[in-house]
């Protein structure tokens, strides 16, 4: 055979064209006799910067799995699309006047071309784009369903208003009180907003997590976000007035230790309760805390503030009067916006009580042992000089109204107090969640319009399904008004609406939906992307759902995944989808970091000032020694790796293989271009081996056969568990064994390798498969099977240890029994020498592995 170079460029172009022209990866619904496999990637936001090396990591993993599943006879749904609404395109439009639709289309084309260059086996006929009216028509339709079900409502709520950007921002877009883009200050401002009642689904969103095959870490993050707590609501009377205040507490057992009460500054009863003497001070305090930005709130975290209202509440178990304070460490948005303060057993209350000299009454004697472990003095707690939040024994907790919990532990006391309160009708057990309703409107242009019209009569009208989509109007000027009025308010003609039936006039809703909307249901649209009569037809939905595997970055651990689950559950309740949960299995790929450098003072040094020498890494400017460390890729450090460059130099197959070889998919790992050269060498070797070594139809030796079957087993098992890195290692071992200049290569060994490697390096393997004489694509060739019997060896090397120290290695039959092993081991000269003058206490035999002789 003639020498051929591994021309990855020609090979990759050839097969990408082949797949495209032959629609190799077009998938049909309802394939007979094939199990389905729905494998989903988190679709990208097509930014102007193009793909970075993080995107292909997850995409490569899913592509390998999809190609493997096809070879195993699965009907595989593997689609791609674009999450294209969002702020960057709109900002760009404001700056340049370029319509976001144009920017978006340009970016999508770039992304599509970059993704195709990696040879992913997507069914491109199912591509979706959230900004396409044919798509967002159904996003609007789902909103209609939410609205009809009473899950969408308008409320005046405080939002993150950024005056510099002239828009509200979501909580995720605000970092330490500054806007994520531009770093402008953000203030709280009440505005009329659309909200979605996600809180109504809090319990199910929490409970159904248990059935999902997600990492415990992600599930725990969702649980914490939903933040369920159980406790009690207790009614306190305000002395000398008819008012009652309900507080929420998780520790009703500590009621005897409640020495004051705190209301949130925004609590509606503050005005009613405040005494004339305190009115001025309270008003001032409320004003101050209302003005506090998010940044102030986080920074002032440490120091507690508050003022006395002058009013007193009556502790319902002691009958004692306790002062009512106003303080912003109590949040109006959680619980009832009012608390009973138990400084002896709550760290925040303790801090506050110390600062304002409020009484501290200990009513739980700490467990001695746990107090010692926590470094807390029991005497100090009993004297009210220290705070104890752990378990213990109740003291000073009895009254003459039939309640006595002295001596009980916390758990029993909680139950007893709740029963007592319920009996008296002044309290009840209660469940609270941290989860808040979802602020669902934005004052932006580049988002889905709401299917809502405000009629002249004041009525809010939901548009008929036949009136969808409400298409975004063309605008010349995308700038926000600065008043909080959305840019759509400028689309004068579009705004006017006339009801076809009644002739009534109205004005369209000018807010748009947040970027999350489109991504809440895209996995359903892939199933039936062209359907103009429904978001998805029921038969197809039943066939494909749920998503069997969902892969994406952990940055969406809470929000996207929670929002999508919420919508899915609503659609489930309405009978539009057949599964309770959308994503059965979820895997989060770890971030790929760039190599970064810092100088002696710890200052970051950009890549272009870094010089590599044999002795180490130095700064080109100062000549000082630099330290290498992995950090997030960033424009400022100039350490962003562009996949295009990698593909140009080493090819898409090397790029794919390297990203999988770096380490476990879920681990965070640093990029090292030198590593790409390693897998590139491996692929060159495979290419050379099959093209240049004499290929013969010869029988494999027993050792070769064992390696072939062991490799099939290892690669198969590793693919099932998504351990791509070790599967690649095994194939390297295989190639190291079979390759060599002039060495005869058994045809079976060659074919098996090409089949096993095909999901990882599909272009090269299609080419090699063809050169091995196959006319069909390898994409649907049968996955090799292994024979467990061929993995077995007649004899194994067994390690003989004396008291744990290796002393000899002995070949023994695999099925040797303990007696035989022991005898053989004791017969070894080195073993006998080591046992000289010692008594054997015990012999441990592990068949096929080792013999350990314990002697003294």
Residues of this chain, 719-738, that bind RNA according to CB under 7 A: 723, 725-726, 728-729, 732-733, 736
Rounded CA separation 709/654 (Å): 25
Q: Is the peptide bond before 672 cis (omega within 30 degrees of 0)?
A: no
Taking CB under 7 A as the rule, which mask of x and - marks residues 783-822 in contact with RNA? --------------x-x-x-xxxx--x-------------
Token readout for 760 is 């990882």
Minimum CB separation from RNA for residue 593, in Å?
9
Rounded CA separation 614/628 (Å): 14
Pseudo-torsion of CA 107, 109, 111, 117, nearest 10°?
-150
Minimum CB separation from RNA for residue 629, in Å?
9
Residues 682-711 that bind RNA (CB under 7 A): 682, 684-685
User: Between the CA of residue 590 and those of 453, 551, 554, 670, 708, what are the distances in Å?
Assistant: 44, 11, 7, 10, 32
Among 133, 163, 227, 390, binds RNA (CB under 7 A): 227
Residues 8-67 that bind RNA (CB under 7 A): none
- Asked if 507 touches RNA (CB under 7 A), the answer is no
Token readout for 435 is 């989860």
Among 4, 224, 406, 792, binds RNA (CB under 7 A): 224
Only one of the segments 196-204, 327-335, 565-573, 649-657 lies at the binding site for RNA (rule: CB under 7 A); that segment is: 327-335
- Asked if 844 touches RNA (CB under 7 A), the answer is yes
Count of residues for the chain?
A: 856
Residues 457-476 that bind RNA (CB under 7 A): none
Closest CA to 417 of 313, 340, 350, 349: 340
Residue 388 contacts residue 382 (beta carbons within 8 Å): no
Rounded CA separation 291/786 (Å): 70
Helix axes 652-661, 673-692, angle to 10 degrees: 120
- Asked if 558 touches RNA (CB under 7 A), the answer is yes
Pseudo-torsion of CA 659, 662, 668, 670, nearest 10°?
-90
Only one of the segments 69-77, 119-127, 299-307, 541-549 lies at the binding site for RNA (rule: CB under 7 A); that segment is: 299-307
Residues 739-778 that bind RNA (CB under 7 A): 739-741
The CA R_g of the chain, rounded to the nearest whole Å, is 34
Residues 567-626 that bind RNA (CB under 7 A): 614
Minimum CB separation from RNA for residue 102, in Å?
32
- Asked if 210 touches RNA (CB under 7 A), the answer is no
Minimum CB separation from RNA for residue 797, in Å?
5
Only one of the segments 270-278, 324-332, 401-409, 757-765 lies at the binding site for RNA (rule: CB under 7 A); that segment is: 324-332
Minimum CB separation from RNA for residue 419, in Å?
18
Q: Which residues contact 491 (CB under 8 A, 6 or more apart)?
A: 473, 474, 475
Minimum CB separation from RNA for residue 497, in Å?
39
Rounded CA separation 70/111 (Å): 25
Nearer to RNA, 401 or 846 (CB): 846
- Asked if 298 touches RNA (CB under 7 A), the answer is yes
Only one of the segments 23-31, 549-557, 760-768, 814-822 lies at the binding site for RNA (rule: CB under 7 A); that segment is: 549-557
Tally of CB atoms within 10 A around 600: 11
Minimum CB separation from RNA for residue 325, in Å?
13
Number of residues that bind RNA (CB under 7 A): 81
Among 137, 286, 304, 565, binds RNA (CB under 7 A): 304
Minimum CB separation from RNA for residue 387, in Å?
12
Residues 99-158 that bind RNA (CB under 7 A): none
Residues 164-193 that bind RNA (CB under 7 A): none
Token readout for 409 is 């532990």
Residues 340-399 that bind RNA (CB under 7 A): 346, 348
Token readout for 254 is 């500590």
Residue 461 contacts residue 529 (beta carbons within 8 Å): no
Residue 243 contacts residue 444 (beta carbons within 8 Å): no
Residues 644-663 that bind RNA (CB under 7 A): 661-663
Rounded CA separation 362/341 (Å): 12
CA atoms within 13 A of residue 738's CA, in its CB half-sphere: 37
Among 405, 554, 750, 816, binds RNA (CB under 7 A): 554
């Amino acid at each position: 055979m003639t020498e051929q170079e591994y021309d990855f460029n020609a090979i990759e172009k050839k097969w990408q064209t082949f797949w495209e022209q032959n629609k190799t990866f077009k998938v049909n619904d309802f394939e007979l006799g094939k199990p389905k496999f729905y494998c989903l990637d988190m679709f990208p936001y097509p930014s102007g910067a193009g793909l970075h090396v993080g995107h292909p990591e997850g995409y490569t993993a899913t592509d390998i799995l999809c190609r493997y599943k096809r070879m195993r006879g699965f009907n595989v749904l593997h689609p791609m699309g674009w999450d294209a609404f969002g702020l960057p395109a709109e900002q760009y439009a404001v700056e340049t006047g370029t319509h976001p639709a144009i920017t978006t289309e340009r970016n999508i084309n770039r992304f599509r071309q970059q993704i195709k260059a990696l040879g992913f086996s997507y069914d491109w006929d199912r591509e979706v784009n959230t900004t396409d009216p044919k798509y967002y028509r159904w996003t609007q339709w789902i909103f209609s369903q939410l609205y009809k079900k009473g899950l969408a409502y308008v409320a005046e709520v405080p939002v993150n208003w950024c005056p510099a950007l002239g828009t509200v921002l979501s909580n995720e877009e605000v970092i330490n009180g500054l806007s994520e883009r531009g770093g402008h200050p953000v203030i709280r401002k009440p505005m009329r907003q659309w909200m979605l009642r996600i809180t109504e689904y809090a319990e199910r969103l929490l409970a159904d997590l248990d059935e999902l095959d997600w990492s415990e870490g992600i599930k725990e993050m969702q649980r914490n976000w939903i933040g369920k707590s159980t406790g009690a609501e207790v009614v306190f009377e305000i002395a000398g007035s008819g008012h009652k205040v309900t507080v929420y507490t998780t520790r009703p057992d500590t009621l005897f230790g409640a020495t004051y009460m705190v209301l949130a500054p925004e609590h509606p009863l503050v005005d009613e309760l405040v005494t004339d003497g305190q009115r001025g001070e309270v008003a001032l305090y409320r004003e101050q805390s209302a003005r506090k930005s998010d940044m102030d709130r986080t920074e002032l975290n440490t120091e507690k503030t508050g003022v006395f209202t002058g009013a007193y509440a009556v502790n319902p178990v002691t009958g004692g009067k306790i002062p009512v304070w106003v303080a912003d460490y109590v949040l109006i948005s959680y619980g009832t916006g009012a608390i009973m303060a138990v400084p002896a057993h709550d760290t925040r209350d303790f801090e506050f009580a110390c600062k304002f000299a409020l009484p501290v009454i200990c009513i739980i004697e700490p467990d001695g042992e746990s107090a010692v472990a926590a470094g807390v003095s029991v005497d100090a707690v009993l004297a009210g000089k220290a705070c104890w939040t752990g378990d213990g024994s109740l003291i000073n907790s009895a009254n003459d109204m039939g309640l006595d919990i002295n001596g009980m532990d916390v758990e029993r006391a909680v139950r007893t107090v709740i029963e007592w309160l319920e009996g008296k009708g002044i309290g009840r057990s209660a469940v609270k969640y941290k989860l808040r309703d979802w602020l669902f409107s934005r004052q932006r242009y580049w988002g889905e319009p709401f299917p809502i019209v405000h009629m002249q009569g004041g009525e809010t009208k939901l548009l008929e399904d036949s009136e969808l989509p409400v298409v975004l109007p063309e605008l010349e000027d995308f700038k926000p008004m600065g008043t909080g009025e959305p840019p759509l308010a400028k689309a004068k003609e579009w705004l006017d609406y006339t009801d076809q039936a009644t002739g009534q006039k109205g004005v369209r809703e000018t807010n748009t939906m947040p970027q999350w909307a489109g991504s809440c249901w895209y996995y359903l649209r892939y199933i039936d992307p062209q359907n103009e009569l429904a978001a998805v037809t029921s038969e197809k939905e039943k066939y494909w759902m749920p998503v069997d595997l969902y892969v994406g970055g952990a940055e969406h651990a809470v929000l996207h995944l929670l929002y999508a689950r919420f919508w899915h559950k609503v659609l489930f309740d309405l009978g539009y989808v057949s599964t309770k949960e959308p994503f059965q299995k979820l895997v989060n790929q770890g971030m790929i970091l760039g190599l970064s450098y810092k100088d002696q003072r710890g200052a970051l040094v950009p890549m272009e000032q870094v010089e590599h020498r044999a002795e180490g890494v130095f700064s080109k400017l100062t000549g000082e020694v630099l330290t290498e460390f992995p950090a997030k890729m960033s424009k400022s450090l100039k350490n962003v790796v562009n996949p295009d460059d990698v593909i140009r130099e080493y090819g898409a197959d090397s790029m794919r293989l390297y990203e999988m070889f770096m380490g476990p998919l879920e681990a965070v790992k640093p990029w090292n271009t030198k590593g790409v050269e390693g897998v590139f060498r491996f692929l060159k070797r495979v290419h050379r081996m099959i093209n240049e070594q004499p290929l013969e139809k010869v029988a494999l030796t027993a050792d070769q056969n064992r390696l072939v079957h062991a490799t099939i087993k290892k690669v198969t098992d590793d693919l099932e568990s998504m351990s791509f890195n070790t599967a690649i290692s095994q194939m390297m071992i295989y190639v190291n064994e079979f390759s060599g200049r002039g060495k005869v290569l058994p045809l079976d060994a060659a074919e098996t390798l090409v089949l096993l490697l095909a999901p990882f390096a599909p272009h090269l393997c299609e080419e090699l498969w063809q050169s091995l004489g196959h006319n069909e694509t390898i994409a649907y060739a049968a996955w090799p099977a292994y024979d467990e019997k061929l993995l077995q060896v007649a004899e194994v090397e067994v390690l003989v240890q004396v008291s744990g120290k290796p002393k000899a290695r002995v070949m023994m039959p695999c099925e040797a029994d303990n007696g035989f092993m022991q005898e053989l081991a004791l017969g070894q000269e080195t073993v006998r020498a080591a046992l000289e003058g010692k008594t054997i206490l015990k012999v441990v035999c592990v068949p096929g592995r080792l013999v350990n002789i314990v002697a003294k």
